[in-house]
A and B are shown apart, each in its own frame.
Chain A
Amino acid sequence: MSAKSMSTESMSAKGSSSVTVNLKVNNKAVTETCAANTTLDELLREQLGLSGTHIGCDTSQCGSCTVHFDGRAVKACTLLVAQCEGAEITTIEGLGTADNLHPMQAAFRECHGLQCGFCTPGMIMAAVDLVHQEETLDEQKIRKGLEGNICRCTGYHNIVRAVATAAKKMRN
């Protein structure tokens, strides 16, 4: 292996062209221009200042970056901004606010479903989608459904409780 192959390949920024996209982020229309190899998580964090979406890996396997793309949970690190033309993106900042929490956010606090908080935004976004997708949820389904999101702190026990609690509230 040579030194050059140690960091993952990326297209040279100077060589790549830029793209301009129109999309909605948290219900606000935005038009952004960025390098063609920019991913959605980079756009959110670095250009739009939405730092609630986190980056926990470089192989699309941790789920820390999960946001909603047209209502479905996606890993923002796997999407190029160029693929987001016309999309409606919701991030943790757009899900609920401090004085008007989404039931999933409230349940994570109530059930102690977070410790360091780093996986939490992605976990909450994935869990909201899971509740929307599944008509009924039991512990096994919740565990299977969150399999794409890694939490190193909680052992998932209280996350599972939080999702079950929120699911009840969301269906009422």
Chain B
Amino acid sequence: MVEQTIGKSVQRKEDLRFITGKGRYTDDINLPGQAYAVFVRSAVAHAKIKSIDSSEAESFPGVRAVLTGGQVADDGLGSLPCGWMLHSKDGSEMKQPPHPVMAADKVRYVGEPLAMVIAETRKIAKDAAELVAVDYEELPATAMVNQAQEGAQIHAEAPHNICYEWELGDQEATEAAIASAAHVTRYSLVNNRLIPNAMEPRAALADYNPGSDELTLYTTSQNPHLARLILTAFVQLAPEHKLRIIAPDVGGGFGSKIFVYSEETALAWAAKKLGMAIKWTAERSESFLADAHGRDHVTEAELALDGTGHFLALRVKTTANMGAYLSTFASAVPTYLYGTLLAGQYKTPNIYVEVDAVFTNTAPVDAYRGAGRPEATYVLERIVNLAAVELNIDPVELRRRNLIQPGDFPYQTPVALEYDTGDYEASLNKALERAGYADFSSRQEEARSRGKLRGIGVSCYIEACGLAPSRMAGSLGAGVGLWESGEVRVNPTGSVTVLTGTHSHGQGHETTFAQLVASKFGISVDDVEVVHGDTGKLDFGLGTYGSRSLAVGGSALSKAADKVIEKGYKIAAHLLETERDKIDFDDGEFRVRDSNQSKTFQEIAFAAYVPHDYPSEELEPGLSEKAFYDPVNFTYPAGTHICEVEIDPETGKVEVVRFTVVDDFGTIINPMIVEGQVHGGVAQGLGQALLENCVYDEAGQLQTGSYMDYAMPRADDLPAFSVDTTVTPCTHNPVGAKGCGEAGTIGSPPAVINAITQALGIRDISMPATPEKVWRALGAGRAHV
């Protein structure tokens, strides 16, 4: 009997290649005779392109070609589409101005690609790119989200730079409840703009074979099939069956590698046009300028409470920055992934949210880890905390009074979602216990005796993952279905190859999915190989984002494995000369009930491929099954984060001394991997709260374009994390999993700010709470004492 591993921290199958330097990332792949591309990018935020003179670059020794946005237009390539159509309050469609593969007439953000130089070596391409002379007619730039509607118009199609004005919820009932409430808490906030910064910069290698008309693109993608669909159906780069996209090892994504970008598209186009293999690898400064950024909201919120501290209504008005163009999923992030989450874990009967999405002369903004849900959680968990302070109720107690209780499920929120299951108070209680919440005041006293200020902050988050039933997504404007596919191929010897449409770029699918399938068959994890990231190997898949891989992709694999087992029963019945219903399958053996007759999984596999003694009239040979799984609802991970900080009043430096997380992710397959996801997520959340900030100046120049100006969390900025779980399995998928990839980033920022404001005794401090801001806040506080 093979030991089964569901719920066990199995070491990762993928690690050996990474720890020995044998990973195979896009830039590690080389093709004979490949050329190198370097992009010429806009130096200004908003301008007409008067002319591009590439003659000097073209005659530079070693340069093969210089291609411009004009040539892309001449070749009739389509615009890069946004995959989610939103409608404004008045029913009109969102404005979707063309997003050119490379700018031809006008540039709209610093760093926008407008030409590419292709040369024998990277160095030559880089030197020659500096010789491309661009003549700009500069236009006034609109860089700030809160000035977008009055600023210079960026697209002819979008007056006042408005993309859409969206709403959700019952405005009248919400306003009435606020008007008559015993107490209303008001809060204005900025959710700071972030740059994702996966450690592997984007890269691509395109190759074209004129003989077969096959175009191959190796690229750093979280969803190669979706990229293929967009590049073929919309951009019309090649017929779908002639384009193969391979996303090999990918060094982190966090959303930034979901999207179909200019550079990869232009590279594939150039490879086909010139009939050669071409490679492009972003330098980090290009990642800062031209990867899709995240967050960037300006929000006003009102929370109405009755005299007993029960929430009556929440009203939220947000302006969301789309950047200069609509990136692949940009429109959905501040709407369906934000407005729908504003109920949080609470029974708030009335909620109304308005979101104005605006264009600015900045890099496109799209999903970054959490995507909309961290912004929603921040609004809610900060305003609830402020209400507690204003009403002089313990913040935990106020939350407790309003929590949705286990008996309330399924719970229909006033903002469209129906939560299937959860036990929020269980996570809260466990987190309070682990964090030593009850003894906080003694630690605070002790810190005070050392001249330090301590604060503790709580945040109770919910998120919606496993996006989403395709029918629902379609009715809300999604351009694609959101199911997942999987294939389970049992090889003749009984080892198994698993193909999934999700993509692993750090999440450990090669291990988790192997555990899932191995446990279905009662075989060893070592006998299961997981294949992903190649459109040439699997028919279709939607990729990895929104913490969907196990909940949706794992469910597809679970279904495919069930089909294999079902066929196995029939083969076993034939071989054992009995009926299918008299056989049990357990521990990797098909056994005739109440007898000692059995066949192993491996024997059945062999019989399926060597069908000498086989029910051939009834069954086809082979043992390989596919399944598609379309979720029936979102999944709803939820939990509590508790942050304890110690602040040095002399320097304003905030030290996170304790960080406690208790999550409910439903069924967990590999706790070690899940904990790792939480650690990484929390680190990014602490980064947003304390360190990271993307800043453009008024002229639209990026001020934080390197690791010298953009503060990434480093090892000495972060604490050790205390992580635990509670479990209510998801009720509607076969795995019971809810997803764990984003939760850490979603729950943590408000916990940090709640802790800092408590320590300082102030109402608010904006993210990131840098030492300077904290020190100034202390000064302001002192002045008032």
Contacts and interface: CB of A to CB of B under 8 A. Distances in A.
Interface of A: 1-8, 10, 12-14, 35, 37, 45, 50-59, 61-62, 64, 91-93, 96-98, 101, 105-106, 108-110, 112, 114-121, 124, 139-140, 142-144, 146-147, 149-160
A53 B27 CA distance: 11
B295 interface: no
A61 B714 CA distance: 11
Interface stretch (B120-128, B262-270, B624-632): B120-128
Please provide the 9 A-B residue pairs with the shortest distance between their CB atoms, ordered closest to farther: A52-B21, A118-B251, A117-B18, A155-B683, A116-B506, A115-B506, A92-B21, A155-B679, A51-B28
Contact of A157 (B14, B199, B679): B679
Contact of B201 (A1, A56, A124): A56
A6 B12 contact: no
Interface string B277-289: 0000101110000
Given A12-B127, A56-B200, A118-B200, A124 B507 contact: no
Interface in B18-44: 18-25, 27-28, 38, 40-44
B25 A112 contact: no
Contact of A151 (B14, B61, B199, B716): B199
B21 A50 contact: yes
B16 interface: yes
A154 B220 CA distance: 19
Contacts of A147: 714-716
Contacts of B11: 109-110, 112
Contacts of B684: 152, 155
Given A117-B506, A143-B716, A153-B680, A7 B199 contact: no
B469 interface: no
B302 interface: no
A6 B45 CA distance: 13
A117 B707 contact: no
Contact of A156 (B254, B506, B715): B715
Contacts of B60: 14
B15 interface: yes
A91 B284 CA distance: 22
Contact of B25 (A7, A54, A106): A54
Contact of B199 (A93, A144, A152): A152
Given A54-B200, A115-B680, A153 B252 contact: yes
Q: By CB atoms of chain A within 10 A, which of B21, B22, B127, B720 has the most? A: B21
Given A108-B19, A109-B11, A150 B123 contact: no
Nearest to B682: A155
B22 A52 contact: yes
B285 A8 contact: yes
Nearest to A141: B716
- Most chain A beta carbons < 10 A, residue from B132, B252, B507: B252
B223 to A, nearest CB: 16
B438 interface: no
Contacts of B707: 57, 59, 61-62, 150
B701 interface: yes
A158 B43 contact: no
Secondary structure type dominating chain A contacts = loop
A115 B21 contact: no
A43 to B, nearest CB: 13
Interface in B117-168: 121, 123-124, 126-127, 129-134
Contacts of A115: 252, 506-508, 676, 680
B43 A109 contact: no
B252 A53 contact: no
B200 A116 contact: yes
A117 to B, nearest CB: 3
B545 to A, nearest CB: 15
Contacts of B18: 114, 117, 120-121
Contact of B715 (A6, A93, A109, A142): A142
B749 to A, nearest CB: 14
Please indicate which of the listed interface residues A12, A96, A117, A139 has the most CB atoms of chain B within 10 Å of its own CB. A117
A146 B717 CA distance: 11
Interface in B223-260: 249-252, 254
Interface of B: 9, 11-12, 14-25, 27-28, 38, 40-44, 60-62, 111, 121, 123-124, 126-127, 129-134, 197-201, 249-252, 254, 281, 283-285, 505-508, 672-673, 675-676, 679-684, 701, 706-708, 712-716, 718, 720-721, 744
20 contacts: A3-B42, A4-B130, A4-B131, A7-B283, A8-B285, A10-B126, A37-B123, A52-B21, A52-B23, A59-B706, A59-B708, A62-B284, A92-B20, A114-B15, A116-B200, A118-B252, A154-B676, A155-B679, A155-B713, A157-B679
B715 A146 contact: yes
Contacts of B672: 112
Nearest to B130: A4
Contacts of A57: 284, 706-707
Contact of B127 (A10, A93, A144): A10
Given A61-B708, A93-B22, 16 more contacts: A4-B130, A6-B41, A8-B285, A13-B121, A13-B124, A56-B199, A92-B21, A96-B20, A112-B672, A116-B252, A153-B252, A155-B679, A155-B683, A156-B683, A158-B676, A159-B715
- Residue of B11, B16, B19, B121 ringed by the most chain A CB atoms within 10 A: B19
Nearest to A139: B720
Nearest to A5: B43
Contacts of B721: 155, 157
A27 B436 CA distance: 53
Contacts of A97: 20
A115 B658 CA distance: 23
Contacts of B129: 7
A165 to B, nearest CB: 13
Nearest to A12: B127
A160 B251 CA distance: 20
Nearest to B281: A55
Contacts of A91: 21
A147 to B, nearest CB: 5
Contacts of B506: 115-117, 153
A8 to B, nearest CB: 7
A121 B251 CA distance: 12
Which of A53, A114, A139, A155 has the most chain B CB atoms closer than 10 A to its own CB? A155
Contacts of B200: 54, 56, 116, 118
Given A112-B673, A139-B720, A152-B252, A119 B199 contact: yes
A119 B23 CA distance: 11
A162 B752 CA distance: 27
Nearest to B136: A3
Contacts of A155: 679-684, 713, 718, 721, 744
A98 B44 CA distance: 49
A109 B15 contact: yes
A81 to B, nearest CB: 13
Nearest to B132: A3
Contacts of A146: 714-716
Nearest to A64: B199
B703 to A, nearest CB: 12
A109 B720 contact: no
Given A150-B707, A155-B718, A160-B720, A118 B283 contact: no
B199 A13 contact: no
Given A116-B198, A158-B676, A56 B19 contact: no
B437 to A, nearest CB: 21
Interface centre among B24, B132, B285, B682 (most CB of A within 10 A): B285
Nearest to A105: B19
A106 B508 CA distance: 17
Contacts of A156: 679, 683, 713-715, 718
A108 B676 CA distance: 12
